[in-house]
Amino acid sequence: EVQLLESGGNLVQPGGSLRLSCAASGFTFTTYAMSWVRQAPGKGLEWVSGISGNGGSTYYADSEKGRFTISRDNSKNTLYLQMNSLRAEDTAVYYCAKQLIVGATVFDYWGQGTLVTVSS
């Protein structure tokens, strides 16, 4: 059974940093690209960042470029999102999501989400 378990969400002050983790199990982690998708309270889904299966390629939404860094440790089956210079508008539930098939960046499995709140 595929499982994705996010952690690391917390209350952080504006300008602060946070690292999110997503522990994956139930599938061959190295085969699949992974992404982070967020959802602000009462709002729609927003893709944040993605990474290829071997970690060699990374992609970011324009608003996150330079502030967020996605990475993965395939030996630990874990996905990460390092978030720096956090802003109030980064407040959201952050989901990690698994790519359905190679070559199609749609997401067939999602974690339960971890809440990041940026506030003073």
Partner 1 sequence: EIVMTQSPATLSVSPGERATLSCRASQSVSSNLAWYQQKPGQAPRLLIYAASARATNVPARFSGSGSGTEFTLTISSLQSEDFAVYSCQQYSNWPLTFGGGTRVEIK
Residues that bind partner 1 (CB under 8 A): 35, 37, 44-47, 50, 59-62, 95, 100, 104-108, 110-113
- Minimum gap (Å) between residue 111 Cβ and partner 1: 7
Of 16 and 113, nearer to partner 1 (C-beta) is 113
| Measured distance CA(69)–CA(82) in Å, rounded | 5
CB of 120 to partner 1, least distance (A): 27
Element (H, E) at 115: strand 114-118
Nearer to partner 1, 15 or 31 (CB): 31
Indicate the residue among 88 and 106 with the shorter CB distance to partner 1: 106
Q: What are phi and psi of 36, to 5 degrees?
A: -110, 135
Angle at 40 between CA 33 and CA 52, to 5 degrees: 10
Give the residue with the Cβ less far from partner 1, 54 or 112: 112
CA distance 80 to 42: 25
